[in-house]
Structure 1
């Protein structure tokens, strides 16, 4: 027999849409972490566990693996676009935000190599569109005559740096990315997420 709650007991509030938004944000953050540690082939159950939700919640927000990767990539690109649109932003500032995403997200590294990104997961066209958005954000801060101003030079440099982002820890990956930018003679601002 089920006991009814007493009048002085309160049931937990059902946050409805607020909980859904929180769960989605937690899933994207968890996916970024899990992908950084284990790559894009990490089990989705690990993403749900890291986010503190059940797999059913994950699948309510994301029907498949490609949708999870796309959400992580969208968030990465959105932060770079916000950094690029911030008042007084410089190329170094935007590169700092982009470099943070490179060191945090294996999925984002794949995006910077969009020719191969998503070929097995069905998100190739979307990855190319996201890569173009990153390029627009960066290109908008290139001074006239800048060394990376050529047609493909900017994204080639980004791809070269992203290829250097290896190592078991975030700190090692960041050091390698910054060393690669230095070798290219490019100044990078503080490596951090965009906090607008």
Structure 2
């Protein structure tokens, strides 16, 4: 007699595994299909029902915040480095994430519209300010460059990403635009 192949409902014991699976699936789906991809696609990719997804993350925005929280952790670690080269590393990481995961920027735009008191722009200013100052003091960045200039350049990169017709040449387009703006990340 064949064994029972039916999955056993592990209930609350599966909660942490389900959460991890949902976050990994959301990152993949958002990266491939954008921030507004159907949440049913996230649940399917994670191997969970939509009810499980919504128990963990009642809104798209809460899911997106959780997915991209590890990006913020990475940015904060780079920003905290006393090395004058930290700004170049942070800027490169932000540009790479903008190109590879434009959904992050879409989430920020939605958060500004929906989340009362969302502080993403201020949080980014706090992250960029100290390493930019250290880079400027070391002669590694233009002394006239401001955090607002950097944030504007990042928005420009996002515009290039979402309007690009030829994604194969996307990194070249971004590099050309950043060179024009004087904010080309190091190779």
TM over 0.5: yes
1:188 alignment partner, SS class: coil
2:97 corresponds to:
101
CA distance in 2, matches of 1:169, 1:157: 21
Contact 2:102 2:158 in 1 (8 A): no
Q: CA RMSD in A?
A: 3.3
1:117 matched residue in structure 2: 110
- Structure 1 residue aligned with 2:39: 44
What pairs with 1:124-139 in structure 2 (closer than 5 Å)? 125-126=117-118, 129-139=119-129
1:1-196 superposed matches below 5 A: 19-86=14-81, 88=83, 89-110=85-106, 116-118=109-111, 122-123=114-115, 125-126=117-118, 129-142=119-132, 143-144=136-137, 146-149=143-146, 152-166=148-162, 167=164, 172-189=169-186
TM-score (norm 2): 0.72
- Per the TM alignment, residue 90 of structure 1 is displaced from its structure 2 partner at its CA by 1.9
**Distance in structure 2 (CA, Å) of the matches to 1:52 and 1:179:** 41
CA distance in 1, matches of 2:25, 2:75: 19
Show structure 2 runs of 5+ residues with no match.
none
For the residue of structure 2 that corresponds to 1:50, the secondary structure is: helix
> Could you tell me which residue of structure 2 aligns to residue 193 of structure 1?
none
Q: Which runs of 5+ in 1 are unaligned?
A: 6-11, 191-196
Higher share in helix: 2
TM-score, normalisation: structure 1: 0.70
**Relative to structure 1, is the Cα distance of residues 44 and 187 closer, same or farther in structure 2, using a 3 angstrom cutoff?**
same
